[in-house]
Structure 1
Amino acid sequence: MPVVFMFLLGAIILQRLVELIVANANRKWAYERGGREYGESHYKWFIIVHTLFFISLAIESSIYFNEWKPSHFLLLFSIFTALQLFRVWCILSLGKYWNTRVIVIPGHEIVAKGPYRFFKHPNYWVVFMEFIIISLLFQAYATAIIFPVLHLLLLRVRIPIEEKALNQFSAADQF
């Protein structure tokens, strides 16, 4: 496998690990302010799916990866880069409120800036697209199909929990 391939895979995994460190620090910050977590039982499935994604990506690409065609690589890498910039915009827009868990802090306003001004849950869209683009970038075509579907199944559980928690929070704040 090309060195660029291993470097890119390592960089993506490192990025995810750093995000988990940031999420953990933000979780502690939220708890110190009375934050409450919702839907704790489904969180492990996100960890499992994301871990299996990287395992699947590594295995499938080690079997099927062929040379990158410069035009395909440039297109997919450009989309990947745009997704990373969008991901950073999502995280910076939420600031300390950004987390990989559903945590609501009583008395705090719901963030409605950055991409959150335009639509709900933009980071979930980024993850969905990343599962596709990263898989295609590494020529892991089965992974490109399986993991976006698993992500959507998880979101069928996650988004209603998050919406209910935020709606309860908003309703409680109005009184």
Structure 2
Amino acid sequence: MIPYTVLVLLVAVERLAELVTARRNADWSRRHSGVEHGSGHYPVMVVLHTALLAGCLLETWSAHRPFLPALGWPMLALALAAQALRWWCITTLGPRWNTRVIVVPGLPLVTGGPYRWLNHPNYLAVIVEGVALPLVHTNWVTATCFTLLNLPLLLTRVRCENAALAGAAPAHP
């Protein structure tokens, strides 16, 4: 249980690094006339993502969930792959990436990196992590609850982002 607790705490530290990056990038976007869309759902997203990490720890320790190697190791690989995909998105978008939906008018859509294949690759990372991180230590209740609660939030977020990006400049060829 201790190694898993360390893993979840490391993910929490990674989230803090994301928030620092997001704040810096949001400031950049605002300085470049960026317009925020859908700010109403942002607090719900913060609470849900915090609850994911808390749920991983609470379920492990209170329900005495075991580490099952046949499940845990593949889920760890997926959780790490989700982190790698998320940071690929962050580096590809550069200063345009943040945890809010802020669009700078006139900038072309990004079509490189993972955006070459998916419109919203970061959300794939969120889905994979929401299942994989809890299941590293058989936290099936946390994985299920997060997934079910995240689904309507993610649909709202994608609709919001698509609407915001619809007014953006066309993609570079």
Report deviation, 1:67: 4.1
> Could you tell me how far apart the structure 2 residues matched to 1:169 and 1:69 are?
47
Match of 1:135 in 2: 134
- Show the 5 A alignment for 1:36-115: 36-115=35-114
In the superposition, the TM-score normalised over structure 1's length comes to: 0.90
Report deviation, 1:52: 1.6
> Could you tell me how far apart the structure 1 residues matched to 2:121 and 2:5 are?
28
Report deviation, 1:121: 0.5
* Identity fraction in percent: 34
Report deviation, 1:66: 4.0
Match of 1:159 in 2: 158
Q: What do residues 9-31 of structure 1 show as CA deviations (whole Å, max 9, x unaligned)?
A: 11010001110110000000100
Q: Is the 8 A contact 2:93 2:110 kept in 1?
A: yes
> Could you tell me how far apart the structure 2 residues matched to 1:81 and 1:146 are?
21
In the superposition, the TM-score normalised over structure 2's length comes to: 0.91
Give the stretch that moved more between structures: 144-153 or 14-23. Answer: 144-153
Q: Is the 8 A contact 2:5 2:57 kept in 1?
A: no
Unmatched 5+ stretches in structure 1: none
RMSD: 1.7
The amino acid of 1:21's aligned partner reads V
Unmatched 5+ stretches in structure 2: none
Report deviation, 1:70: 3.5
The amino acid of 1:72's aligned partner reads L
> Could you tell me how far apart the structure 1 residues matched to 2:141 and 2:102 are?
33
Q: Is the 8 A contact 2:35 2:102 kept in 1?
A: yes
Q: Against the structure 1 CA distance between its residues 48 and 27, is the aligned structure 2 distance closer, same or farther, given a 3 Å change threshold?
A: same
